[in-house]
Amino acid sequence: MNLQDGVKARFIPDRLNSRLSGHLKSWETLLLAVAVVVFVINSLSSPYFLDAWNLSDASFNFTEKGLIALAMALVIISGEIDLSVAAIIALASTAMGYALQFGVGTAELVAIGLIVGVLCGTFNGVLVTVMGLPSIVATIGTMSLFRGLSFVVLGDKAFNGYPTSFAFFGQGYVYWVITFELVLFAGMAVLFGILLNKTNFGRAIYAIGNNPTAALFSGIRVARVKMILFMLTGLMSGLAAVCLTSRLGSTRPSIATGWELEIVTMVVLGGVSILGGSGTIVGVVIAALIVGMVTFGFGLLNVPGIVMSIFIGLLLISVIALPIVYRRVRKG
C-alpha cells in the first residue's frame, strides 16, 4: 500500500479514484462476466435454453430464493445469519393452508403468510438480541422448531384447494413472459439497494458488521437494528412463502427443504463477506441470476437432483474461499 500518512499536502480529496474505476475492479464485474459465461454455455449446450418462455420459467429458480437472499444479505453484512428462512416458509405456508380450511380469501391468506413470517423473524430476533444467543445456533434451533411445527399440523397430509385469485402471485404474468415474481424481485432488489446504500439504517448495518462495539459507542442502537433485520428476513420469508405456495398450489411440510443453503450461497457468491461488514445488493442479484441459470441449465440437461446438490455444496465452499483468495491477490 502506498497510502502512507504524513503526506505533506494539507488538503485531503474526497476520493482518489473515480467511482467508475472502482466499479470496474469490483467483485460485481467479475460476477457479471461469470453470468455471461454461464448464459453462453447454457445456450450452446441446450437448444431449448434460448427461448423466451423457457427463460421465463427459469426465473422461478431464483426469484423466491432471491427475495430472501436480499434480506439475508443485510443480516450477514451485520455479522449475523438466519438459517431458519426455509423453515419459516414451511410454517407460513402451513398457516395459510390451515386458514384455508376456514374459507378465508386471498387477501387474508397473504396477510397470514406475511404475519407468520414476521412473527418467526421476531422470535429469532428476540433470541439473538434479548437473550444474546449466537444467531447461527439460535436459527439452527428455530429451523427445526418451525419445520417441526408444520409437521405436527400437517403430518403426511397436504393442504390443497387455494383460491384461483391466489394463483396470481406464483403463476401470474405482468406482461408477455414477465412473471409477477420477477417484477416483485426486481422491485424489492431496488428497495433493498436503496435501504442499504442511501439510508442511515444501511450505514448502521455496515458499521455494526465491521465493529459492533465501536458502532454501539457511536450511539447506534445495535440491538434494535439487528432486531429489525431478523424481522425483515422473516417478512421476506413470508413473502416467498406466499409466492411458492401460490406457484405449487399446495402445502406440504417438506416445502422449500434445503433452501437456506442455496440462499446463503447466493449471498456469499454475491460478494457479501461471511464475516460481516461488506457486500452489495447488486452482487447478490447477479449471484441469484447465476445460481438460477445454472440450476435451470442442469435441469435442461437432465442432471439428477443429487448432482445438483453436490454442485451447490461445492459452490458454497468455493464462494467462501474465493473472495478470501481474491482479496489476498488484490492486496499482494
Partner 1 sequence: MTARPVLTLSAITKSFPGVKALSEVSLSLYPGQVTALVGENGAGKSTLVKVLTGIYQPDGGEILIDGTPVTFATATAASGHGITAIHQETVLFDELSVAENIFIGHAPLTRRGLIDWKKLNSKAHDLLARVGADIDATAPLKELGIANKHLVAIARALSVDAQVVVMDEPTAALSHKEIQELYALVDRLKAEGKAILFISHKFDEIFRLADRFTVFRDGQMVGEGKIADTNSDALVQLMVGREVSQIFPDRTPVVGEPVLTVSGYDHPTEFADIGFTLNKGEILGFYGLVGAGRSEVMQALFGVTKPSKGAMRVDGQIAVIRTPAQAIQHGIVYVPEDRGKQGAVAGLPIFQNVTLPSLSRTSRKGFIKLAEEFALAREYTSRLDLRAASLDQDVANLSGGNQQKVVIAKWLATQPKVIILDEPTKGIDIGSKAAVHSFMAELAAQGLSIIMVSSEIPEIIGMSDRVIVMREGRLVDELAHKDLTAEALVRAAAGIGEVAS
Residues that bind partner 1 (CB under 8 A): 1, 3, 5-7, 10, 12-16, 198-201, 203-204, 206-207, 209-211, 213-221, 277-278
Between 21 and 318, name the residue whose CB sits nearer to partner 1.
21
| Cβ proximity of 80 and 96 under 8 Å | no
Between 101 and 213, name the residue whose CB sits nearer to partner 1.
213
Between 53 and 326, name the residue whose CB sits nearer to partner 1.
326
Q: How far apart are CA 233 and CA 240, in angstroms?
A: 10
In the complex, least distance from residue 243 CB atom to partner 1, rounded to whole angstroms? 28
- Judged on CB neighbours under 10 Å (0-12, 13-18, 19+), 219 is exposed
Between 14 and 156, name the residue whose CB sits nearer to partner 1.
14
Q: How far apart are CA 294 and CA 234, in angstroms?
A: 27
> CB neighbours of 103 closer than 8 A, spacing ≥ 6?
none
In the complex, least distance from residue 9 CB atom to partner 1, rounded to whole angstroms? 9
| Cβ proximity of 162 and 100 under 8 Å | yes
Residue that the C-alpha cell 423466451 belongs to? 52
| Cβ proximity of 288 and 66 under 8 Å | yes
Between 203 and 247, name the residue whose CB sits nearer to partner 1.
203
Q: How far is CA 173 from the centre of its chain?
A: 22
In the complex, least distance from residue 210 CB atom to partner 1, rounded to whole angstroms? 4
Between 249 and 277, name the residue whose CB sits nearer to partner 1.
277
Between 56 and 210, name the residue whose CB sits nearer to partner 1.
210
DSSP SS3 for 273: coil
Q: How far apart are CA 250 and CA 151, in angstroms?
A: 15
In the complex, least distance from residue 123 CB atom to partner 1, rounded to whole angstroms? 24
In the complex, least distance from residue 42 CB atom to partner 1, rounded to whole angstroms? 37
In the complex, least distance from residue 18 CB atom to partner 1, rounded to whole angstroms? 11
Q: How far apart are CA 289 and CA 283, in angstroms?
A: 10
In the complex, least distance from residue 85 CB atom to partner 1, rounded to whole angstroms? 26
Nearest to 64 by CA among 246, 211, 322: 246
